[in-house]
Amino acid sequence: MAFYVVQFLTGLASAASLFLVASGLSIIFGVTRIVNFAHGAFYMIGAYIAFTLTERLSGAFGFWGSIVLAAIAVALIGVLVEMVLLRRIYHAPELFQLLATFGLTLMVEDLVVLIWGPDDLVGRRAPGFRGAIDFFGQNIPSYDLFLIVLSPVVLGILWLLFQRTRWGVLVRAATQDRDMVAALGVNQKWLFTSVFAVGVFLAALGGALQIPRDAVHHAMDLRIIVEVFVVVVIGGLGSIVGAFVAAVLVSELNAFGILIFPKISIILVFLVMAVVLIVRPWGLFGKPEAPARKTPGLTVNPWRPLTSNERLMALAALVVAATLPLFAGNYALTVGSEIAIFVIFAVSLHFLMSVGGLASFGHAAYFGLGAYGVAFLAKMAGLPMIVCLLLGPLLGCMGAAVFGFFAVQLSGVYFAMLTLAFAQIVWSIAFQWVSVTGGDNGILGVWPERWAASPSHFYWLALGVAALVTVALRAMVFSPFGYALRATRDSLLRTEAIGINAKRIQWTAFVIAGTTAGIGGALFAYLKGSVFPDNLGISLSVDALVMVLLGGVETVSGAVIGAIVYKALNIWLVSQTDLSKLVLGGFIVLIVVVFPKGIVGMLEMLAQRRRKASPPGSPLLAKPIESAE
Amino acid sequence: MSVAPPLLAVEGLTKSYGGIHAVRGVSFSLRAGEILALIGPNGAGKSTCFDMLNGQNKPDTGHVRLLDEEITGRKPREIWRLGGGRTFQITATFATMTVRENVQVALISHGKQLFNLFGSAPKFDRGEAGRLLELVGMGGYADRPCGELAYGDLKRLELAVALANQPKLLLMDEPTAGMAPRERVDLMRLTAQIAREKSIGVLFTEHDMDVVFEHADRIIVLNRGTLIAEGTPAEVRGNPQVQAVYLGEGLVYDARHREGASI
């Protein structure tokens, strides 16, 4: 019995940091509508700075002063980030802010290694809380008790801040309707900056308070950000009480999950999140979001199919790409194959995200399922490669059919979170079900047959499939189904009023996108000769998002360009520098700020300007209609 | 009494929220080709009533029949399939698509081609889309992005979209809200003309009494959830109960008294 009590208390202590970080994320999202991916990075910097300060400053005051000082320092960094970066992109498409903060995260990951080195750093114990307390023969670290007391205290302070101060009232008002608050004469700029500072302060404090419990290391950002996403979604975005309850819930699930279901402990949390989202899509303490005001003067260029000239150009590009084996070496061909596979992956997400307006944060799940599908068929059933390639993606298709059915019941940020949760469930299964998937060791020896084994042959195979998939999905954009899908993205109300079952359209799109991603994954398994849980991990899902956004989410062919540029740059940077994440992150941030419409979007804009600058050639075409290529 | 059933028959519609009776026992009917206005002061239950007809809201009790088919509590998309088109108070269109594409989506739905993955949508029923746009006077705007349109044009586009499945019933929620006076008259004239030509029954809610009295064949008046008057514009105008609701009792403005007094 005592053991369970101790386990429960350990869970509560873990909840403290989680709550601090999650409440910060929640407050920032509530007001600015930015899902701050960099929140985990701020948490990590908080821990690193606190580590350095506690090493330098001695005594009890030195330790506790360092913790607070570290949080304040990071909050100032946050202010700088908000003013220099985020202010420029509040009006960009909402996912761009996510992309920018993701770029920041990448940069921070390399920066901390540069400054503090790659090794784990073990910090000092907290003065006054070094020992442990005996509880019926079980030890409880006294620092854990301190954390258990701390989180309700912070909750209370935040509650007072939001209920009793003028600033708190403004923040709550802005959470409900920020346009109205701006119309009432509140300086929105400083409100946003201050909210961001408070949110970042909480994240950094959460990180700093972790040093007596855990080693500081350079991967702690991703681990916490996923858990924090889960917490805010279960608790309800924008609700601090929700963040508190959910942080406790998630921590306890982790603490007891290990005891009760050691095999599926990781899944448990995500399963609870999925159930909450399906039953109460706006979280336990959240409120259903009022329909957002449509941005006035929406300037999306209408989409049109390629003209015959453009088709010829695309074909020419494909022919040029096909000649690569004539002059390039094996390494370049392998890189080429990988890029082709990522084109497939990117266009599949583009179909769901740009055409259907459903941004999946867990698209790698279907990519990875396709890869595992191939591995199972090839290794266990021993089927020939061509059969594996055809049937493997069906696993992605089935996964998409099951998860997609639930996911399309939601939309916007919640859709993104639920897809993330599903992807994590699939990842957990791959990771923990060792007897079938090999767990962390993956499945090795998935090599292509002789006809596709040489790098040039495999390159042609990948290129050919990528071309087919791109053409097919593009055709679907301009099919009756594609029109219906775009219609559901623009106005659910109207689609229902003209007899369209929007959910079924979206579900179909989800299955198409998942199956296509599975095709990419199937090829990827053969390219690498192996399958690992990473093939359906979060970083791969984020890669897909970055590729689509980089190319231009509002364009038809952006995904192809985005995939080529991102993947090529990524592979090249990794080969050139140890600081590839820093450069890549910086590049992403730059793209977001300078070309918020993505690469293709920017090209379209330039073409448009040129057309507008030149005098109209014929009076019949006095006002040329702009379109997206 | 006509033998054929009315186009739309509403019987004993009731809806409460907690202790508030938003709509109480409302019954009325609508014939093909007839233009019926649903009016009443703010909070009278117009919107609740309207939403129960188009499937957005389910009544507690009562029935709605469209051509003798029970549509009470059916989904909006099912009602559309049975011939009930609608326009919204705040226009709902596909902002990133062109004007023609907006109409084509409705035609694709009407032609049950929604799951056609490899056909060509730009060519889909292009002629019919053009005809519908001509009908509402939007022929010249076909290739314009819908997000660029002025509000009045959006309303006309909505009308074209609503007509795509050759509806028998058209439900219009405050069709002229937010429009300039000149545009209001044009839109309602157009609606009335189309309704008569195609024998479509039109039910609309409206705050602008000029629009109501000029274009409605018949008017029903709601107050505090109950139907207090029904009749031709002239009958409703002369109804003392209606006057009381709109202007308050004892303050009825009567031009003759005023003239008499001034002599």
Nearest to A448 by CA among A503, A556, A528, A336: A528
Question: Of A225, A200, A184, whose CA–CA distance to A192 is shortest?
Answer: A200
- By CA distance, what is B164's nearest residue in A? A498
Taking each helix axis from N to C end, the angle separating A2-32 and A166-183, rounded to the nearest 10 degrees, works out to 40
Nearest Cα residue to A423 out of A434, A407, A437: A407
Q: Between chain A and chain B, how many beta carbons pairs sit less than 8 Å apart?
A: 122
Q: Are A105 and A43 in contact (CB under 8 A)?
A: no
pLDDT for B150 equals: 87
Q: Which of A62-66, A297-301, A395-399 shows the lowest mean pLDDT across its residues? A: A297-301
Higher pLDDT: B179 or A155? It is A155
d(CA B74, CA A164): 47
Of A343, A371, A358, nearest in space to A404 by CA: A358
Give residue-wise pLDDT tens across range A262-306: 766 767 887 888 788 778 888 888 877 655 544 433 456 778 888
Closest by CA to B114, choosing from A483, A56, A38, A115, is: A483
Band the pLDDT of B248: cuts 50, 70, 90: low
Reported as a pLDDT band with limits 50, 70 and 90, residue A222 is confident
Shortest Cα–Cα distance, A397 to chain B (Å): 17
pLDDT above 80 for B190? yes
Q: Any bridge partners for residue B39, and if so which?
A: B221
Report pLDDT for A289: 64
Query: Whole-model pTM?
Result: 0.85
Residue A558 near residue A350, CB atoms below 8 Å: yes
Distance CA B76, CA A172 (A): 35
- pLDDT of A227 reads 86
Test B105 with A484 for CB contact under 8 angstroms: yes
DSSP letter (8 states) at residue A618: S
Is the Cβ of A488 closer than 8 Å to some Cβ of chain B?
no
User: Which among A361, A368, A363, A376 is positioned nearest to A412, based on CA atoms?
Assistant: A361
- pLDDT, tens digit, 9 for 90 and up, residues B54-99: 888 899 999 999 988 888 889 999 999 999 999 988 888 998 899 9
Please answer yes or no on whether B76 and A496 come within 8 Å at the CB atom.
yes
CB contact, 8 Å: A402 with chain B? Answer: no
| B110 contacts in chain A (CB < 8 Å) | 498-499
Q: How far is B115 from chain A (nearest CA, A)?
A: 5
B54/chain A closest Cα distance in angstroms: 9
Task: Give me the pLDDT at residue A628, please.
Answer: 52
When mean pLDDT is compared across A226-240, A285-299, A351-365, A408-422, the lowest value belongs to A285-299
pLDDT of residue A607: 81
Question: Minimal Cα–Cα distance from A241 to chain B, Å?
Answer: 28
Share of residues in chain B with pLDDT > 90 (%): 49
Q: Is A278 helix (H, G, I), strand (E, B) or coil?
A: helix
| Cβ atoms of residues A221 and A43 within 8 Å | yes
pLDDT recorded at residue A618: 39
Q: How confident is the prediction for chain A on average, in pLDDT? A: 87
Q: How does DSSP assign A141-204, residue by residue?
A: EHHHHHHHHHHHHHHHHHHHHHHHSHHHHHHHHHHHHHHHHHHTT--HHHHHHHHHHHHHHHHH
Q: Count H helices and E strands in chain B, helices first.
A: 10, 10
Angstroms from A500 CA to nearest CA on chain B: 6
Interface test with B, best of A298, A486, A494, A556 (most B CBs within 10 A): A494
Beta partners for residue B8, in sequence order: B30, B66
A625 touches chain B (CB under 8 A): yes
SS3 content of chain A, % helix, strand, coil (to 5): 75, 5, 20
Model confidence over A307-336: pLDDT tens digits?
Answer: 888 899 999 999 999 999 999 899 999 999
- Structure-block tokens of residue A12: 């509560």
Domain boundaries defined on chain A? 22-218, 331-537+565-579
- When mean pLDDT is compared across A43-47, A76-80, B183-187, B189-193, the lowest value belongs to B183-187
Which of B108, B145, B164 has the CB atom closest to A480's CB atom?
A: B108
User: What's the CA gap between A567 and A197, in Å, rounded?
Assistant: 34
Of A177-181, A507-511, B123-127, which gets the smallest average pLDDT? A177-181
pLDDT at B259: 43
Chain A residues touching B122 at Cβ < 8 A: 304-305, 478
Q: How confident is the model at residue A159 (pLDDT cuts 50, 70, 90)?
A: very high
Instruction: Identify the pLDDT of residue B247.
Output: 66
Torsion over CA: A565, A566, A567, A568 (sign): positive
- What confidence category does residue B106 fall into, taking pLDDT thresholds of 50, 70 and 90? very high
Task: Identify from A295, A473, A498 which residue to disrupt to test chain B contact, counting B C-beta atoms within 10 A and taking the largest count.
Answer: A498
B114:A497 CB<8 A: no
pLDDT at A269: 81
**Pair of tokens at residue B31:** 């014939």
Fold (CATH) for B1-83+168-183+193-263: Rossmann fold (3.40.50)
Cβ proximity of A140 and A149 under 8 Å: no
Cα(A152)–Cα(A161) distance, rounded to whole angstroms?
A: 14
Token duo for residue A43: 């948490």
> Tokens 């019987």 map to which residue?
B11
CB contact under 8 A, A497 and B118: no
Between A300, A305, A476, which is nearest B122 by CB? A305
Domain borders along chain B are 1-83+168-183+193-263, 92-166
Q: Report how far residue A346's alpha carbon sits from residue A340's, in angstroms, rounded to the nearest whole number.
A: 10
> Is A365's pLDDT higher than 90?
yes
Encoded amino acid at B263, one letter = I
A494 vs B: CB within 8 A: yes
Identify which of B86, B101, B161 has the shortest CB distance to residue A483: B101
Contact in structure between A273 and A421 (CB atoms under 8 Å): yes
Q: pLDDT-based confidence at A620, cuts 50/70/90?
A: very low
CB-based contact, A457 to chain B, within 8 Å: no
Check CB contact of A185 with chain B, cutoff 8 Å: no
Measure B83 CA to nearest chain A CA, in Å: 10
Phi and psi at residue A293, in whole multiples of 5°? -65, 135
State how far the Cα of A573 lies from the Cα of A575, in Å rounded to an integer. Answer: 5
- The top-scoring range by mean pLDDT among A26-35, A53-62, A476-485, A589-598 is A476-485
Residue that wins the pLDDT comparison between A400 and A418: A400
**Which residues on neighbouring strands pair with residue A444, listed in sequence order?**
A530
d(CA A359, CA A94): 10
Q: Which tens digit of pLDDT belongs to each residue from B2-55? A: 556 789 999 999 999 888 888 999 999 999 999 999 998 888 888 889 889 988
Which helix (DSSP H) or strand (DSSP E) does residue A322 occupy?
A: helix A308-322
Long-range contacts: A547-551, Cβ < 8 Å, 24+?
Answer: A547/A342, A547/A345, A547/A346, A547/A349, A548/A346, A548/A349, A548/A350, A548/A353, A548/A354, A549/A95, A549/A96, A549/A99, A549/A598, A550/A99, A550/A588, A550/A591, A550/A598, A550/A599, A551/A346, A551/A350, A551/A598, A551/A599, A551/A600
Asked if residue A223 lies in contact with residue A47, where contact means CB atoms within 8 angstroms, the answer is no
Residue among B92, B121, B165 minimizing CB distance to A493: B92
pLDDT at residue B3 in the model: 58
Q: Which residues contact A110 (CB under 8 A, 6 or more apart)?
A: A579, A580, A581, A582, A585
User: How high is the pLDDT of residue B261?
Assistant: 41
Of residues A543 and A73, the one with the higher pLDDT is A73
Are B62 and B13 in contact, with CB atoms under 8 Å apart?
yes
Q: What is the DSSP string of B92-135?
A: ---TTSBHHHHHHHHHHHHTT-TT-SSS-STTTTHHHHHHHHHH
Q: What percent of chain A has pLDDT over 70?
A: 94
- For chain A, give the longest Cα–Cα distance: 92
Q: Cα torsion for A451, A456, A460, A462, to the nearest 10°?
A: 90
SS3 call for A557: coil
